[in-house]
């Protein structure tokens, strides 16, 4: 009882939060500019100081985007966009798949923190996608179940172009995997409605592991 009262109060509080100051197009431009600064080596390293940390701890967060990214240690999300505390609501999972927990996290970002933009961010040389291409059934633990989530993207890439092999198949599968996670995200009625009414934008992107450059998908 007490928990449910607390929870309903929490939901009311979150629902009352104002929409983000930026449109989704402005948020996308903001991320593009951050990646450009990162690539040019003129990173501002903004808002990672103790003052910013304390402000976000006491005043809360108003992130500019919700980002679903891979767990790979070589793709830290804030760094690539030149962002700091409270700037991005990041969900990281191997192969940037979107299942229940990931979807709920993205919903929290978009519907309660009012991030105007959702980004599904894959990356080149993704080990999870590579493993799915080569089968992955002999992997340990629950990893074969993860492969089951990614394999349809590999099949979709092959179906679109049966001639694809090697690196070409890999990058096509990585793109399909991003598009598949976007499709899964859109299964949320709240997100679907927000996207259709243009309050929220949802875009896919691929990060080049070697250069750090973000390529935005059309
Ligand atoms: Zn990966």
Ligand 1 center to residue 122 CA distance, Å?
A: 7
Q: In this model, does residue 2 exceed pLDDT 50? A: no
The pTM (predicted TM-score) of the whole model is: 0.90
**CB-based neighbours (< 5 A) of ligand 1, an ion:** 70, 72, 126, 128
- Give the pLDDT of residue 10: 41
User: Are 87 and 117 in contact, with CB atoms under 8 Å apart?
Assistant: no
130 Cα: distance to centroid of ligand 1 (angstroms): 9
Give the dihedral sign, CA 154/96/62/64. negative
CA 36 from centre of chain = 19
Number of domains in the chain: 1
CA of 94 to the centre of ligand 1 (A): 6
Q: What is the pLDDT of residues 5-53, one digit of tens each?
A: 444 444 444 444 456 899 999 999 999 999 999 999 987 766 788 999 9
User: Once rounded to an integer, what is the mean pLDDT over residues 56-69?
Assistant: 96
CA 149–ligand 1 middle distance (angstroms): 13
**Residue range 195-216, pLDDT digits in tens:** 999 999 999 999 999 999 999 9
In this prediction, residue 18 carries a pLDDT of: 53
CB 146 within 8 A of CB 128: yes
Give the domain range for residue 164. Answer: 2-216
- CA 51 to ligand 1 center in whole angstroms: 33
CA of 97 to the centre of ligand 1 (A): 10
CATH number of the domain that 199 lies in? 3.40.1050.10
Q: Looking at residues 155-179, what average pLDDT do you find?
A: 97
**CB within 8 Å of 14: residues ≥ 6 apart:** 112, 113
Helix (H) or strand (E) segment spanning residue 65: strand 65-69
């Amino acid at each position: 009882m007490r928990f449910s009262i607390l929870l309903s109060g929490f939901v009311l509080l979150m629902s009352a939060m104002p929409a983000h100051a930026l449109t989704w197009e402005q948020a996308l431009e903001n991320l593009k500019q951050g990646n450009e600064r990162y690539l040019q080596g003129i990173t501002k390293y903004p808002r990672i100081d103790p003052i910013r940390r304390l402000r976000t701890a006491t005043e809360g967060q108003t992130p500019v985007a919700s980002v679903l990214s891979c767990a790979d240690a070589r793709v830290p999300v804030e760094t690539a966009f030149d962002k700091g505390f409270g700037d991005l609501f990041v969900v990281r999972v191997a192969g940037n798949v979107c299942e229940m927990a990931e979807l709920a996290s993205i919903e929290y970002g978009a519907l309660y923190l009012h991030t105007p933009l959702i980004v599904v961010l894959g990356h080149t040389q993704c080990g999870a996608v590579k493993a799915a291409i080569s089968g992955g059934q002999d992997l340990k633990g629950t990893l074969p179940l993860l492969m089951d989530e990614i394999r349809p993207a590999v099949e979709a890439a092959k179906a679109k172009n049966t001639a694809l092999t090697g690196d070409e198949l890999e990058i096509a599968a990585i793109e399909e995997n991003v598009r598949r996670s976007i499709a899964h995200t859109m299964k949320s009625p709240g997100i679907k409605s927000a996207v259709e009414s243009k309050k929220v934008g949802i875009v896919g992107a691929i990060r080049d592991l070697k250069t750090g450059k973000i390529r935005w998908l059309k």
